[in-house]
Amino acid sequence: MNTTPRSAFPDWHGTTIIAVRKNGRTVIAGDGQVSMGPTIVKGAARKVRVLAGGKVLAGFAGATADAFTLIERLEAKLEQYPDQLARACVDLAKDWRTDRYLRRLEAMLLVADASSIFTVTGVGDVLEPEHGVAAVGSGGNFALAAARALSDHTDMDAEEIARKAMAIAADICVYTNGNLTVETLD
């Protein structure tokens, strides 16, 4: 059992990931900033991945090594349940919650295919947004609010909304920058 107090670990921040689905198009965008306390240690990290032969997008917030472990597990679930993203996410969340090793991982995933978006967490949540927009990370709430407003009140497409919402988040959140990785599914 890890008895090291959480405060002994570095104070890592610096991710905003957003998923937007509009008019049959799904986009996940992520910024590139990684910070340790008040210091930016990397400005162009790639936190969005294409999985399942281009059918699934995933973005992550949290500890990078933990997120990579989860993405690898998700890829295995997608191979086990092809074209069943919801089932793969639920199975991953179950494993994440019950496996002693996985339970300690500190990350969140945004996962999407052409028809669905899910937020997957280590407490067993697999959440599908009501409004076609989901976000995680330090600037997630800023990006989410901006994207919801833009989606409901403009004719912008999914990618334009994601990019503008990320720009707004970067203007507000000191742990978010404008170096974006954007992946799209039609």
Q: How many CB atoms lie within 10 A of CB 186?
A: 8
Instruction: Give pLDDT tens digits for 132-184.
Output: 999 999 999 999 999 999 999 999 999 999 999 999 999 999 999 999 999 99
Closest CA to 175 of 46, 7, 31, 65: 31
Contact 163, 180 (CB under 8 A): yes
Contact 162, 184 (CB under 8 A): no
Q: What is the pLDDT of residue 13?
A: 54
Residue carrying the six token digits 């295919």:
113
Q: What is the three-state SS of the chain?
A: CCCCCHHHCCCEECCEEEEEEECCEEEEEECCCEEECCEEEECCCCCEEEEHHHCEEEEEEECHHHHHHHHHHHHHHHHHCCCCHHHHHHHHHHHHHHCCCHHHCCEEEEEECCCCEEEECCCCCEECCCCCEEEEECCHHHHHHHHHHHHHHCCCCHHHHHHHHHHHHHHHCCCCCCCCEEEEEC
Q: What is the pLDDT of residue 103?
A: 72
To the nearest 10°, report the CA torsion of 171, 172, 177, 182: -80
Q: Which of 4, 15, 16, 26 is catalytic?
A: 15
Greatest CA separation for the chain: 52
Contact 98, 105 (CB under 8 A): no
Cα gap 107→98, rounded to integer Å: 16
What does pTM read for this prediction? 0.89
Instruction: Give pLDDT tens digits for 58-111.
Output: 999 888 888 888 999 999 999 999 999 999 999 999 988 887 777 778 888 999
121 is catalytic: no
Contact 45, 32 (CB under 8 A): yes
Instruction: Give pLDDT tens digits for 9-31.
Output: 444 456 899 999 999 999 999 99
Name the residue type at position 7.
Answer: S
